[in-house]
């Protein structure tokens, strides 16, 4: 499933450092603007303790985790919507992603320059938001003019529905709000919104990059960001990117855990960020588990059993008959498929079954 999270933000806020911590790609990281020009693409495993437990129970020959794609995008500056800096390229790269990890600098360091000369993550957020909103307003107004004409001269009912949605988007953008703040009233509007490919309609996670001392508790900068985004449909994650880079270099698991405990953390911020990116994309995991392989499979939330079967092989979806489903908790309790079956905990589901996160599934098909 090719879904991507884009890491965005102003230059020198820690995007590439963060990217290198969480992905298999390696981006150049340096103390000057536009160090990143071409987007860097990396893929990373999604940490999942459930897969570790299944592996311990089944002792399989191979283990395959879920993955998520991360893109490190060049830094944006004020005026990007008009082509300043790498503006046009930056906006095009964002448009190709499915969700946004917006990195904000929430630390002081006189050795690392800031393009605007001072540290103010709320201002930085607003700069990026404004540039994306300006671009979206251009898109909305262009589409609105065309749709109004179709609705009034052609009597197109679908165009009338689109006009209503576009007018609400336009009002929000003119008020300095992102499109994701506009409530969608029904599935038809959700489909129309998706087809507009608006930049500020993408789900966003604000990543507050802090100093090591603030990794566990945050700081005043983080508090200001939290206040600024309280009315948005967005979440905040606090992470110390420089410290995470140091943690990533520690090979011994116990030493790594000891370092985290000294910082007051139960787990790495990178783990939380990868999991956050996965859920931000609207993804969930189901498993196949046995002696040959334990594997985490990725589908969208709301997908039904045939779609899950298709994640394994298109023939499974095409010839889908039924699915045998074991709840993760039941498998852990009974320790084998045979014991789950004997306890009457194995369910047989048809084409309309909506897959739940953590389901362990076996598909019957015929082609």
Give this prediction's pTM.
Answer: 0.87
Which helix (H) or strand (E) element contains residue 147? helix 121-153
DSSP 49-94: HHHHHHHHHH--SEEE--EEEEEE-PPP-TTGGGT-TTHHHHHHHH
* Spans of the chain, pLDDT less than 70: 1-2, 24-38, 77-89, 154
Residue 307: its pLDDT value, please?
Answer: 97
**Joined tokens for residue 173:** 């953008």
Give residue 306's pLDDT. Answer: 98
| CA 262 – CA 70 distance, rounded (Å) | 29
Q: What is the pLDDT of residue 85?
A: 45
SS3 content of the chain, % helix, strand, coil (to 5): 45, 20, 35
pLDDT of residue 33: 40
Our CA dihedral for 130, 134, 140, 145, rounded to 10 degrees, sits at 150
Rounded CA gap, 24 and 6, in Å?
15
Separation of alpha carbons 348 and 320, rounded Å: 13
Q: Is 147 left (phi over 0), alpha (psi -120 to 50) or beta?
A: alpha
Q: How far is CA 313 from CA 1, 88, 306, 320, 363, in A?
A: 12, 38, 10, 11, 11
The dihedral through the CA atoms of 349, 355, 361, 365 has a sign that is positive
Res 233: pLDDT: 74
């Amino acid at each position: 499933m090719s879904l991507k999270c884009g890491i965005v933000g102003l230059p020198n806020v820690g995007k590439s450092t963060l990217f290198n911590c969480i992905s298999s790609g390696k981006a150049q990281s340096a103390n000057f603007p536009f160090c990143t020009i071409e987007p860097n693409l990396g893929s990373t495993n999604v940490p999942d303790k459930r897969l570790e437990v299944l592996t311990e129970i089944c002792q399989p020959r191979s283990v395959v985790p879920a993955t998520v794609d991360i893109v490190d995008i060049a830094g944006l500056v004020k005026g990007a919507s008009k082509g300043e800096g790498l503006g046009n390229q930056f906006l095009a790269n964002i448009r190709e992603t499915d969700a946004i990890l917006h990195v904000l600098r929430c630390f002081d360091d006189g050795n690392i320059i800031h393009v605007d000369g001072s540290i103010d993550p709320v201002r930085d957020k607003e700069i990026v938001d404004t540039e994306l909103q300006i671009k979206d307003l251009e898109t909305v107004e262009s589409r609105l003019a065309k749709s109004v004409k179709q609705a009034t001269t052609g009597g197109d009912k679908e165009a009338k529905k689109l006009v209503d949605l576009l007018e609400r988007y336009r009002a929000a953008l003119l008020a300095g709000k992102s499109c994701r703040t506009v409530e969608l009233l029904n599935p038809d509007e959700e489909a129309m919104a998706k087809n507009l490919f608006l930049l500020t309609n993408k789900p966003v996670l604000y990543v507050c990059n802090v100093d090591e001392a603030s990794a566990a508790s945050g700081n005043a900068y983080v508090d200001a960001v939290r206040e600024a985004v309280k009315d948005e449909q967005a979440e905040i994650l606090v992470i110390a990117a420089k410290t995470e880079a140091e943690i990533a270099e520690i090979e011994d698991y116990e030493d790594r855990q000891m370092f985290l405990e000294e910082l007051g953390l139960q787990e790495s911020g990178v783990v939380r960020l990868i999991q956050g990116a996965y859920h931000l994309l609207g993804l969930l995991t189901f498993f196949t588990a046995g002696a040959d392989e334990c594997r985490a499979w990725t589908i969208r939330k709301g997908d039904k059993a045939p779609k899950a079967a298709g994640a394994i092989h298109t023939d499974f979806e095409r010839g889908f008959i039924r699915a045998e489903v074991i709840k993760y908790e039941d498998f852990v309790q009974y320790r084998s498929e045979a014991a789950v079956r004997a306890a009457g905990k194995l369910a047989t589901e048809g084409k309309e079954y909506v897959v739940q996160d953590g389901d362990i599934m076996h598909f019957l098909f015929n082609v």
